[in-house]
Structure 1
Amino acid sequence: MDEKDIATLQNADIDYEDIIDRFEGNESLYLKLAELFLDDPHMPNVRKAFAAGDLATAEAEAHALKGVAGNLSLTSVHQLAKSMNDALRDGDEATATKLLPELNEAYAKAVEALREVLGR
Structure 2
Amino acid sequence: MSIVKFTEDHEWLRVDGDIVTVGITDYAQNALGDIVFVQLPDVDTHFDAGDEAAVIESVKAAGELKMPLAGTVVEVNPVLTEAPATVNEDPLGTGWFIRIRLDDPAALDGLLDQAAYDKLTT
What's the TM-score once normalised by structure 1's chain length?
0.32
Greater share of strand: 2
What's the TM-score once normalised by structure 2's chain length?
0.32
Greater share of helix: 1
